[in-house]
């Protein structure tokens, strides 16, 4: 009788071990997905139209409009940002409602610094039809300032054309500086 119970116990233990063995899976792929989700965007939006306003006598004046077909929200990061992988169109308005338009293939908005990093075929067009071309440009939203430390090319109807390695301008494009690597350049007042 003891032998019979011993065999039954061995069969039961074997069945449990085999069941546990086959029920365990390699979850490495699922663990990898968790890591991707933590590093991925917390949100995604399509057909973005963000308006930045400035309060003047209780009336909000639009100072900038950012449009993009796609935005990825990385506000789940320590240094949060929004990414625009399919490009942007940034319209910058002055107090007379005239606008400068900046177009780029790609952009990142850093939330903590209010800095927009515009990259790839960046084109700035003024109301006077002056055009500035660069591979990368930054827009400081707090100071309403555009700048670049990459080569730029200016094609102008109102002043002379220019090339340089450093660009610095207000968003109205009234005051701008283009400097070459050796410090020479064009200054418009």
Tens digits of per-residue pLDDT, 98-119? 899 999 999 999 989 989 999 9
Same domain, 147 and 100: yes
Predicted confidence (pLDDT) per residue in 143-177, tens digit: 888 999 999 998 888 777 788 898 888 877 777 88
Which tops the pLDDT comparison, 179 or 119? 119
pLDDT at 109: 93
Which tops the pLDDT comparison, 143 or 184? 143
Same domain, 28 and 104: no
Say how many residues make up the chain: 189
pLDDT at 71: 95
Same domain, 59 and 29: no
pLDDT at 19: 66
Which tops the pLDDT comparison, 55 or 66? 66
Same domain, 19 and 64: no
Same domain, 22 and 92: no
Which tops the pLDDT comparison, 156 or 125? 125
Mean pLDDT of 178-184: 62
Which tops the pLDDT comparison, 80 or 183? 80
Which tops the pLDDT comparison, 21 or 117? 117
Mean pLDDT of 78-101: 91
Residue 37: both structure tokens together: 């989700």
Q: Which domain holds residue 31?
A: 1-39
Mean pLDDT of 69-88: 93
In sequence order, which residues have a C-beta less than 8 Å from that of residue 172 and are 6 or more positions away? 92, 94, 98, 100
Mean pLDDT of 47-64: 80
Same domain, 73 and 34: no
Percent of the chain's residues with pLDDT above 90: 34
Same domain, 86 and 174: yes
Residue 78 has pLDDT above 80, yes or no: yes
Same domain, 6 and 33: yes
Same domain, 9 and 56: no
Same domain, 77 and 105: yes
Mean residue pLDDT across the chain: 80
pLDDT at 4: 57
């Amino acid at each position: 009788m003891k032998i019979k119970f011993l065999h039954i116990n061995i069969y039961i233990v074997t069945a449990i071990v085999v069941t546990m063995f086959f029920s365990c899976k390699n979850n490495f792929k699922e663990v990898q997905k968790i890591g991707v989700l933590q590093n991925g965007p917390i949100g995604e939006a399509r057909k973005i139209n963000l308006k930045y306003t400035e309060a003047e006598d209780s009336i909000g004046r639009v100072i900038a409009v950012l449009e993009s077909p796609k935005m990825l929200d990385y506000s789940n990061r320590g240094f949060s940002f929004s990414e625009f992988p399919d490009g942007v169109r940034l319209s910058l308005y002055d107090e007379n409602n005239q606008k400068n338009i900046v177009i780029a293939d790609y952009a990142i908005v850093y939330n903590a610094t209010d800095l927009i990093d515009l990259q790839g075929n960046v084109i700035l067009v003024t109301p006077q039809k002056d055009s500035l071309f660069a591979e990368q440009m930054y827009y400081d939203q707090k100071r309403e300032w555009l700048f670049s430390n990459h080569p730029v090319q200016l094609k102008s109807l109102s002043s002379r054309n220019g090339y340089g390695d450093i660009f610095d301008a207000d968003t109205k494009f009234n005051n701008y500086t283009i400097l070459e690597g050796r410090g020479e350049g064009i200054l418009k007042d």
